Structure 1
């Protein structure tokens, strides 16, 4: 697996972003992280093609001694049909101990939602010190109706993960983290994307708005509506 360098730049397209996310994930694991998160936060993104690329990289790294886990039974069934060339074991979150085999060296969980937080936490505990990667978690999906105790459990659980890769397009820029680099806020200008700030911890939406107001006089904390619009801005 190739190692990342200090000169990583914002990706120009989804393929580059996926390659960055995979490399960052494996580098975080090689550096000792066992709970790793990779999140490409694009509103229109289809997770399955990205999950396939991650699965192929896991095959390269671990052979057949790893497990792909889906929270959605339909997605798991689709992966079983489509990923025949990978010869990978596919399980569902609800399968409990059967999803965490003794011979497995690593685990990849695709798109878990807040509904499965308790089940996922049990799986992570069963995995022990073996790498457990969450790809594109959607743990805020069921915020409405989610009780305070459930939200606190979710936040506590997420705090145990190292974010190896995160990219979120904003109305006037982007929030990006590519391990081992720090979190970066980027600003879209007429000349292209320019780095606005680097911070050690993931900034909140309020933090990002404050940065934009301080440095540009504008406010930008919302999603871009279209994936292609974001990459068009990057490619300038």
Structure 2
């Protein structure tokens, strides 16, 4: 008599640091985008911080997604704009900021963009560490 055993798969945590699941070198079609979106929806983001030109998006599990904007009266400070249950996409962020990110006629240089991101990240880290 043959004996069969069934193995139960255990759920194991997986930590991904800055996952980039799509290469910019090749085009991505509709089916690939849907597959990626469906695959990513099975993950739970436990910590996320994304600096923006005029604010930041932040989440620390189990809390909600929080969108912050720069405080015009107090430099290096953020104000909470909105809390969301799901990750805000570009459309959500545009709605929240209401088109406040008007671009100047002159395109910013790459160095200005890089310095702006680092400045925003460091300001945001100071704010959430208090």
Q: TM-score, normalised by structure 1?
A: 0.39
What's the CA shift for 1:197?
0.6
Structure showing greater radius of gyration is 2
The 2-side partners of 1:154 and 1:195 are apart by 30
Structure 1 match to 2:114? 225
What's the CA shift for 1:232?
4.7
Q: Cα RMSD (Å) of the superposition? A: 2.4
Structure 1 match to 2:80? 195
- Residue deviations 1:37-92 (CA, integer Å, cap 9, x gap): xxxxxxxxxxxxxxxxxxxxxxxxxxxxxxxxxxxxxxxxxxxxxxxxxxxxxxxx
Is the contact made by 1:173 and 1:185 (CA closer than 8 Å) also made in structure 2?
yes
Higher relative contact order, structure no. (Cα contacts within 8 Å, ≥ 6 residues apart): 1
Instruction: Count the aligned residue pairs.
Output: 104
Is the contact made by 2:51 and 2:121 (CA closer than 8 Å) also made in structure 1?
no
Structure 1: gaps of 5 or more residues: 1-126
Deviates further, 127-136 or 163-172? 127-136
Q: Decide which structure has greater helix share.
A: 1
**Residues 1:165 and 2:47 are matched in the alignment:** yes
Q: TM-score, normalised by structure 2?
A: 0.68
